[in-house]
């Protein structure tokens, strides 16, 4: 994606939207055999109700570590600190244990990862993965009910003949289908907030657009909010209302997509925007 035409601004009715996630001064340090690294250094960000907040920046700038830090998905060799992480309906979750966070993920925050095959269990049928999710959250849903819910969820993410997918395994799915299944799983318990970390990496351009249309529809049509991590400014321009630009583990710029794209103030953002080829621009291609 390289089209930088900007998505419409939020309507006047959304002038003072509720904040569903407010992260203040998030920092992550990771102990490695070569010493301690600090990939996230005091990040502030907030997601408002009904919006898609884009987090953009070059590879290695700390985007994934930021969201994994919020969700406590980093390994035991990491330390996550924050002044606060306010999640609507849950208060400040910055002090939550890993166990408490298991109750938050799935129910309060759905997570769509970069590689769907990494989050699907290779030895369980897809049906069982839906049921395990219900069990893990103690919903009391029976196997039969879980199957019916799963069929509806798969249908909702555009999977034709969902019963075939339910009875099969992850390795039988294409990348795009697997990501649809992950999206269905991530939204089964109706979390009001979704995190999507480069959800279309490795998919071809047509499928990328289908998946992004699907997840943005889940926000637009179902009143959710989303934090969307990407390195692609075209995706930010097309799908997000506000954007946070990260560089070297810090937020260097934040604002409406329109303002940041049209009048970027930070030199890194200016370079990032300047590096996107414009339609009709002559490219220097080596022969
Ligand atoms: N477990 C780890 N051990 C050592 N370094 C790590 C670890 N996890 C992350 N890092 C480092 O932290 C930095 C930020 O990584 P992160 O994956 O958050 O970047 P990113 O912006 O999401 O990049 P990408 O777009 O490539 O996914 C990188 O320099 C990475 O090498």
Q: How far is 208 from 106, CA to CA, in rounded Å?
A: 23
Check residue 87 and report its DSSP letter. Answer: E
Question: Ligand 1, residues 30, 65, 77: which to mutate, most atoms within 8 A of Cβ?
Answer: 65
Q: Report whether pLDDT(20) > 80.
A: yes
Task: Tell me how far CA of residue 93 lies from CA of 62, 89, 189, 207, 236, in angstroms.
Answer: 21, 10, 19, 35, 28
Q: Over range 8-23, report the average pLDDT.
A: 66
Going by C-alpha positions, the residue among 24, 63, 20 that lies closest to residue 219 is 20
Q: 8-17, 134-143, 201-210, 276-285: lowest mean pLDDT where?
A: 8-17
Q: Over range 26-38, report the average pLDDT.
A: 95
Q: Determine if ligand 1 sits within 6 Å of the CB of residue 97.
A: no
pLDDT tens-digit readout, 78-117: 999 999 999 999 999 999 988 899 888 888 999 998 889 9
In angstroms, what is the span from residue 69 Cα to ligand 1's centroid? 12
Q: Over range 133-153, report the average pLDDT.
A: 95
Where does residue 185 rank: exposed (0-12), middle (13-18), buried (19+ CB within 10 A)?
Answer: buried
Q: How far is 112 from 41, CA to CA, in rounded Å?
A: 24
Confidence label for 62 from pLDDT (cuts 50, 70 and 90): very high
Residues 6+ apart with CB under 8 A from 143: 131
Confidence (pLDDT) at 272: 86
CA 277 to the chain's CA centroid:
26
Confidence (pLDDT) at 7: 52
Where does residue 140 rank: exposed (0-12), middle (13-18), buried (19+ CB within 10 A)?
Answer: exposed
Is residue 227 within 8 A of residue 259, CB to CB? The reply is no
Going by C-alpha positions, the residue among 77, 85, 9, 13 that lies closest to residue 45 is 85
Task: Tell me how far CA of residue 240 lies from CA of 23, 55, 219, in angstroms.
Answer: 19, 9, 11
Q: Over range 21-38, report the average pLDDT.
A: 96
Measure the N-to-C terminal CA separation of the chain; round to a whole number of Å.
25
| This prediction's pTM | 0.88
pLDDT tens-digit readout, 180-206: 999 999 999 999 999 999 998 888 888
In angstroms, what is the span from residue 62 Cα to ligand 1's centroid? 6
The mean pLDDT value of the chain amounts to 89
Confidence (pLDDT) at 13: 44
Q: 13-17, 27-31, 96-100, 154-158: lowest mean pLDDT where?
A: 13-17
Q: Which residues pair with 24 in a beta bridge?
A: 84
Please report the domains of the chain, with CATH numbers, ordered by start residue. 14-102+231-275 (3.40.50.300)
Residue indicated by tokens 């009143």:
223
Residues 6+ apart with CB under 8 A from 108: 87, 89, 90, 191, 192, 193
Confidence label for 12 from pLDDT (cuts 50, 70 and 90): very low
Confidence (pLDDT) at 9: 47
Confidence (pLDDT) at 11: 45
Percentage with pLDDT > 70 across the chain: 90
Q: Which residue has the higher pLDDT, 49 or 277?
A: 49
Cβ atoms < 10 Å from Cβ of 215: 26
Confidence (pLDDT) at 204: 87
Confidence label for 237 from pLDDT (cuts 50, 70 and 90): very high
Q: Determine if ligand 1 sits within 6 Å of the CB of residue 59.
A: yes
Question: Ligand 1, residues 29, 30, 32, 37: which to mutate, most atoms within 8 A of Cβ?
Answer: 37
């Amino acid at each position: 994606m390289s089209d930088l035409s900007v998505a419409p601004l939020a309507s006047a009715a959304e002038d003072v939207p509720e904040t569903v996630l407010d992260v203040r001064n998030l920092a992550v340090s990771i102990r490695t055999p070569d010493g301690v690294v600090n990939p996230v250094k005091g990040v502030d960000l907030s997601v408002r109700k009904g919006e898609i907040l884009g987090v953009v920046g070059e590879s290695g700038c700390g985007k994934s570590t930021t969201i994994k830090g919020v969700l406590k998905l980093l390994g035991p060799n990491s330390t996550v600190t924050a002044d606060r992480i306010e999640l609507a309906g849950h208060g400040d979750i910055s002090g939550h244990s890993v166990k408490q966070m298991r109750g938050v993920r799935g129910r309060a925050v759905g997570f769509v990862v970069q590689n769907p095959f990494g989050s699907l269990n290779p030895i369980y049928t897809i049906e069982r993965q839906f049921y395990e999710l219900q069990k893990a959250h103690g919903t009391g849903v029976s196997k039969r009910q879980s199957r019916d819910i799963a069929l509806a969820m798969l249908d909702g993410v555009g999977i034709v003949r969902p019963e075939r997918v339910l009875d099969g395994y992850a390795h039988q799915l294409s990348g795009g289908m697997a990501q649809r299944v992950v999206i269905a799983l991530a939204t089964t318990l109706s979390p009001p907030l979704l995190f999507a970390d480069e959800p279309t990496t490795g998919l071809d351009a047509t499928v990328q657009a289908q998946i992004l249309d699907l997840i943005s529809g889940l926000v637009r049509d179902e009143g959710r909010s989303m934090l969307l991590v990407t390195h692609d400014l075209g995706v930010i321009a097309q799908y997000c209302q506000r954007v946070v630009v990260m560089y070297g583990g810090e937020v260097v710029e934040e604002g409406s997509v329109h303002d940041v794209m049209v009048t970027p103030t930070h030199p890194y953002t200016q370079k990032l925007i300047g590096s996107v080829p414009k339609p009709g621009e002559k490219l220097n291609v080596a022969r």
